[in-house]
Chain A
Amino acid sequence: MILKTSAILLAAMAATPVLAEQPVPPNAPVVSPDGSLYRAFGGHDGVVKIMDDLFVNIEADPRIKPFFEPAKIPHIKEMLVLQVCAITGGGCTYTGKDMAKVHAQLGIQPSDFNALVEDLQKAMDSNHVPFAAQNRLLAALAPQSRVIIYKPSAADGAAATSQ
């Protein structure tokens, strides 16, 4: 019995690093399983265009431009396209990293998070996404503020735990 338990524990320990390498899906729900919202965003081409426009807006936005390392922008765009496609029912699966991990060291303030929302709203406006459709996407993304916005206490706690 003890041997059997140990074997399971060992197997679990061996498996853990592999699991940790697996992409963790964002905690955003699929809000339009029938894909109607994806179509309101113009499907794949529409979402790609919106993300291109988003980064044009970010480039012109001194509030949040410094957060984006130019070399990483193509990858970030690709991951955002996947996320929006997944949420809006386009049938994609998010394969990016855990949202909390990729934002943990950036020190993002609430006003920075909202600035990105505004730049995204402008991009959706210029691509004629209806207001109600925009809000369905934003409602799905909004709870990510909890892992994206910097929390001094949580970061301190994590640092203390790792020491």
Chain B
Amino acid sequence: MPRRLRPPIPLAVLSAALAVAAPSLGHAQSAMDNLSLSGKLLLTGGVNTVEGTAGGGLTPWAVTGGYGAANQLGGNIYATNVSTTDYRITSYGAVATAFDRVELSLSKQAFDTQDVGAALGLGKGYTINQTTAGVKVRLIGNTVYDQDSWLPQIAAGAQFKSNDKGSLVRALGARDSHGTDYYVSATKLFLAQDLLLNATVRETKANQFGILGFGGTDNRYHTQIEGSAAYLINRHVAIGAEVRTKPDNLAVAHEGTAYDAFVAIAPCKAFSVTLAWVDLGNIVTRRQTGFYASLQAGF
């Protein structure tokens, strides 16, 4: 079977993204001259997804993480805990953003199998770890400023994922312990309506975010659709919901769509907390629902 290593379209998009990003290096000098920070408006950097990238809790947005405006640098650190029916998923990491144009992220995901690990003979509390490095480039548009146009802010990105339990995920039918997701996100703020909408298209081979490896029944990229809607209650609080489809590519266990309903609270730019109810769909044993909590600190 021919192995399609990467989808051609996202790569072309990323190349174009780098071309778009080059002029923003010109902002470097003015940022050095004027070391001001946190020039973006409250909550406009989003929160951190379980894979670190700025967005909602489950899906990337076209915004860059942190509060650096287009003439500034920004960044944040975060820690997330998701306790579901059978598992505990923790994620922590950091995001760095330059000139509201390029976002780099590095994060760790730990998937604690708890009692299921014992039942499967892996040992109680057997934990699968994943490291995800992300890059995102804003291509066009400004979420806040473009209120007189339908054009959303659009960004393209990649997540390079590496799972530390290669032999296990191969035994489950995955082809690889490494994989790269490519995505394009479009985010539109309808400020006069206090409403933010996001749509993301992702090309991925990952099973369960990569926790169960990459590839399976086939070794092709699968196109997934993700969406978020958020309503701004006031400047400090947003509520919303998300959906993220996932491939169903492992023969041993069905994989389903993930959903969440969240509230994000930012008392100030330095700190935010996001709480959510999540439904991650079936993960090996049964449908996994539970509680998500994430803390973010940054500038």
Report A's interface with B, CB cutoff 8 A: 27, 29, 31, 63, 109-112, 114-115, 117-118, 121, 131-132, 135-136, 138-140, 142-143, 145-146, 152
Contact = CB atoms under 8 A, between A and B. Distances in A.
B58 to A, nearest CB: 26
Interface string B29-48: 01000101001110000000
Contact of A140 (B34, B147, B149, B235): B147
Given A109-B69, A118-B41, A29 B234 contact: no
A117 B149 CA distance: 20
A143 B71 CA distance: 18
A143 B41 contact: no
Given A139-B191, A145-B145, A117 B69 contact: no
Contact of A142 (B26, B39, B191): B191
Interface in B50-83: 69-72
B164 interface: no
Interface in B142-168: 142, 144-149
B145 A109 contact: no
Taking residues whose C-beta sits less than 8 angstroms from the other chain, chain B's interface range is 20 to 34
Contacts of B26: 152
B232 interface: yes
Contacts of A29: 148
B176 interface: no
Contacts of A109: 30, 34, 39, 69-71
A115 B192 contact: no
Contacts of B40: 111, 114
Given A117-B41, A139-B147, 19 more contacts: A31-B192, A109-B71, A110-B69, A110-B71, A110-B100, A111-B39, A111-B69, A111-B72, A118-B41, A131-B194, A131-B232, A131-B235, A132-B194, A139-B192, A142-B148, A142-B191, A143-B148, A145-B145, A146-B145
Interface in B120-174: 142, 144-149
